[in-house]
Structure 1
Amino acid sequence: MTTFRALQVTMPQPKQFVRQVVERSIDDLPAGELLVQVAYSSLNFKDALSATGNPGVTRNFPHTPGIDAAGTVVECSDGRFAAGDEVIVTSYDLGMETDGGFAEMIRVPSSWAVKLPSGMSLKQSMMFGTAGLTAGLSVQELVEAGVTPDQGEILVTGATGGVGSLAVAILAKAGFQVTAATGKESEHAYLKELGATSVISRDEVTENSTRPMLKPRWAGVVDCVGGEMLAAAIKATRYDGVVTCCGLVGSPDLPINVFPFILRGVRLIGIDSAECPMPRRQTVWNKLASEWSLPQLETMNDEIGLEGLEEAISAMLAGSLKRRQIIKP
């Protein structure tokens, strides 16, 4: 194969962006030791921003989005992988300024790739994708900090989002009592299907949130929202509880005092999947393939081709996309 299909975003005029599926040459791919034939990718909000020219994600065009990719190694010039190995590539600069997974082929540094864990298919890896990795890292932090299922409720905010929904399912699989917070009343039954013990509104989390402290309730928190929601969750976390945060859709600001930290010993841990060290990344992927594998994973995803991305990207930006989108280039 010397050419391949890819979704390409061009900028024919300033602030005008055009998306179309094109034929590209492998020779045009960026430098890197690892050439991978992509079997699956997945659609993330960052991809939708890249595809519409958001300068906070991508500044150089033409460009192929896709921060996730899973496929088979075609060649690896530094010997880290062998031809035929199945790998997962997420995070770092993939799909941002480096051409990403919305294509049949990618070329990247070999240090960006994780060998596909035993017991997981390439398609399943992209059903998790960066969202699943982030959710898994959040749960791993709770576990390593000593939070156990017998200590009480774990709150997940933004629970219908990609990270939130997978966090609900992983926590339930790990035996935790999960309370899912969402502003979408129509999704309560879906969250219960994922394993949530109870579902509450966002307003219930933020009620009386201007107070310095709230009645202790949560043994742990996976926050995907930030802002007032995160502050309220911290204020209602029990003594020695642990809060992880990975999102800022609510706000990047944290309106809070130090009382929960110095009076209850609450610990706040930031989650970053982009530059996460490879050993930790591999640990979480191995858990997602084994003890955290999800029987309901298939029902959380729809499969589309490159031609289906235009509609899916528009739906994601409009907030009307209900299921994760798996792309088969």
Structure 2
Amino acid sequence: MFKAILIEKPEETQSVSITELSEDQLPEGDVLVDVAYSTLNYKDALALTGAAPVVRRFPMVPGIDFSGVVAESNHPDFKPGDRVVLNGWGVGETRWGGLAGCARVKGDWLVPLPEGISSKQAMAIGTAGYTAMLCVLALERHGVTPEAGEIVVSGAAGGVGSVAVALLAARGFDVAAVTGREAEAAYLRDLGASSVLDRSELTGKPRPLNKERWAAGIDVAGSTVLANMLSMMKYRGVVAACGLAAGMDLPASVAPFILRGVTLAGVDSVMCPKPDRLAAWQRLASDLDMAKLEKITVEVPFEEVPQIAPKFLDGAVRGRIVVPVTPELG
């Protein structure tokens, strides 16, 4: 038996409980993992609160991320004792996820944990940090260099934004960090931001084109924020878009794309091919300052997860939240 968070919806209203499950209740898969750590992301908060229809099947163990140790394997790439990490693939949405002591999944979904990253650090990174790295790689693929100019990052005090600021600063970029929380300015500068902007600069009614300000951007918000960011890109600027916290709409025009040659690069972390995942995790191992990662990480007891989740929806969460499940696994 192992502990787990379980979301159930027998009728119209869902419920969340902490319970015990057995291995024979787990879904099919060719690898069984003893979970050391999990984490909380915005999508997990939506699942736990029921604020959006993230969970597609009930009952559901949430948690789109986990790190741990292989217990059993019928997959050629993994053997018992291997340290692994999982992000996405519908885990925590359509298949039982990482907020439990054990997880049975397809081995193709797992990534070997790189040397130099502990199981706890892997979840301090989590989907948020892994997505931030995918965004940085997208900018690099489009030729963005520190010499091009300042990079803007929306939602900078959140999980994706915090890691993105740290990664970009470590690569020598000047970073304009955008946040709706003035009190986070010192925190963002400590991560490496060269300037901190109030979110209101990107929430006004978008114009087709605004004054050119930034060489590139990473956006977690979508909607008006993304539309304004696009309108302020320099000639041949690039925006990596990975989130929709402000909405799925895009009240923009084609002007930035046609008149300035701006590129909008979509970044998906859920179904991202394994070679890209491996590249992202290797770069995280080499590029991310683990001392800065520790500064943006808060550990929350397993039993308190249901109470913490609503804070994401209120925009009251800074950085990354790690949830120890079986921390003695290392």
- In the superposition, the TM-score normalised over structure 1's length comes to 0.95
**d(CA) in 2 for partners of 1:203, 1:55:** 25
Residues 80-133 of structure 1, C-alpha deviation per residue, up to 9 Å, x if partnerless?
201100000110111112111111100001111000011111111110100001
**1:215 aligned onto 2:211:** yes
Which residue identity lines up with residue 142 of structure 1 in the other structure? L
Which residue identity lines up with residue 111 of structure 2 in the other structure? V
Secondary structure of residue in 1 paired with 2:193? coil
Change (3 A) 1:55 1:201: closer
Moved runs in structure 1, 4+ residues, more than 6 A? none
Change (3 A) 1:258 1:58: same
Which residue identity lines up with residue 151 of structure 2 in the other structure? I
Paired residues, number = 325
Gaps of 5+ in 2: 326-330
| Structure 2 counterparts to residues 85-164 of structure 1, below 5 A | 85-164=82-161
Which residue identity lines up with residue 88 of structure 2 in the other structure? S
**1:224 aligned onto 2:220:** yes
CA RMSD of aligned residues (A): 1.5
Identity %, equivalent residues: 46
Contact kept? 1:92, 1:274, Cα under 8 Å = yes
Deviation at 1:75, TM superposition (A): 1.0
Residues 146-181 of structure 1, C-alpha deviation per residue, up to 9 Å, x if partnerless?
111111100001111211111111111111000011
Gaps of 5+ in 1: none
**d(CA) in 2 for partners of 1:167, 1:177:** 12
Contact kept? 2:32, 2:105, Cα under 8 Å = yes
- In the superposition, the TM-score normalised over structure 2's length comes to 0.94
Change (3 A) 1:240 1:323: closer
**1:7 aligned onto 2:8:** no
Secondary structure of residue in 2 paired with 1:16? coil
Contact kept? 2:125, 2:320, Cα under 8 Å = no
Residues 198-223 of structure 1, C-alpha deviation per residue, up to 9 Å, x if partnerless?
0011222355x543211111110001
Which residue identity lines up with residue 217 of structure 1 in the other structure? R
**d(CA) in 1 for partners of 2:130, 2:318:** 20
**1:320 aligned onto 2:316:** yes
User: Which residue pairs with 1:60 in the alignment?
Assistant: 57
Residues 271-295 of structure 1, C-alpha deviation per residue, up to 9 Å, x if partnerless?
1000101001110100001123442
Which residue identity lines up with residue 184 of structure 1 in the other structure? R
Which residue identity lines up with residue 45 of structure 2 in the other structure? A
Contact kept? 2:236, 2:260, Cα under 8 Å = yes
User: Which residue pairs with 2:328 in the alignment?
Assistant: none
Which structure is higher in RCO with an 8 Å CA cutoff and minimum separation 6?
2
**d(CA) in 2 for partners of 1:82, 1:96:** 26
